[in-house]
Structure formats: C-alpha cells, structure tokens
A = this chain, B = another copy of it.
C-alpha cells in the first residue's frame, strides 16, 4: 500500500534521527530500515531528506505530546502527574539503554543555527508542548503567566535531564529534575491557596 511506505519512512526516520541526529543519519540507512527505495522516498517527499525531517519532527513531537498527556490524565492530581512524567521518562531511558529520550532534541540543537525550516519545525513542537502544559496548570488554578513559566520549567528540566542522562548513562539527573519540578509546581499551587506574597 502507498500510505504504508510513507509511514514506514517517517517511523524509521524518527527512530534514527532521534538517536543519531540529522546529519549523522544517511538516507540509505533510513531506506534500509524502512524497506523502501530511493524512488519511494522522493515520491512521497519531493524535497528529499529535509522534507522528510519536517514530517518526522511534527509526527514524533505530536506523538510524544500525546504520550505525556495520557500519563498526565491518568494521575489523580497535577503534582502526581508531573512526577509520573519524569518517572516514565526515566523508565524509557533505562529500557532503551539510554537511546530514547526526547524525540527531537538532538535534531533541534543540530539545526538551530544551520537550517531555518527545520528549526521552525522544532520550535513549533516546543511551542505546542508549552501551550499544552500551560493549559494544565491554568486548569489547576495557577495564573496564566505563572502557568507558562511552570510549563517552560518542566520542559526544560525534562530536556536537560535527557541530555545529562543520555551522556552519563544514568537516571540520577532525571530523578533530581523530578524533585525540582515537583517542588516548583507544588509551590505554585500552594500560592494559589494563599494568594498573598511569598511566605518568606
């Protein structure tokens, strides 16, 4: 089937780009893993590698967001949800031998200063994540501006822990990041209850 080949290409690209980066992954390798041919790739993606990469970034970014939202929804409260996200990330990290972390971070850093269309694609994914996270905190009663700060903080902690964790092959950074995330989120929720200034 036609759509099938296209999906296999995106899936293979997603796997490889996330672990080896964009420049570090050859088209032949993608074709080999997807059991496809040059003509198929350039039929579905006339723009070649870059056009495939845009699709990969959007698809894997959306997929990861849905995964996180599912975990979040299963938690009884916001703090538990945040903790569950970090625990899930740590579990995946260990289960994949520290290969699978953020699906787009490696490419994002690679293209940030070298490929504007791809940079925009990664920015749109991060923006979508930020908005989704912001909405969650707003739903818990936190103000809009503070909710956005919380969302950016949680995502930054997650991304940073991915970098440290993959490099050092350890989930310790993820555990520390989880504690910090819980601390700042809980503090923001506490301030909602007592809307005066900091209790300091």
Total count of chain A residues near the partner, CB < 8 A:
55
Q: Are A109 and B105 in contact (CB under 8 A)?
A: yes
What are the nearest 3 A-B pairs in CB distance? A156-B160, A160-B160, A159-B160
In the complex, which residues 75-119 of chain A have their Cβ closer than 8 Å to any Cβ of chain B? 97-99, 102, 105-106, 108-110, 112-114, 119
Partner of A99, one of B19, B113, B179: B113
In the complex, which residues 186-200 of chain A have their Cβ closer than 8 Å to any Cβ of chain B? 186-187, 190, 199-200
Interface residues of A (CB under 8 A from B): 19-24, 97-99, 102, 105-106, 108-110, 112-114, 119, 122-123, 126-127, 148-150, 152-153, 155-164, 166-169, 172-173, 176-177, 179-180, 183-184, 186-187, 190, 199-200
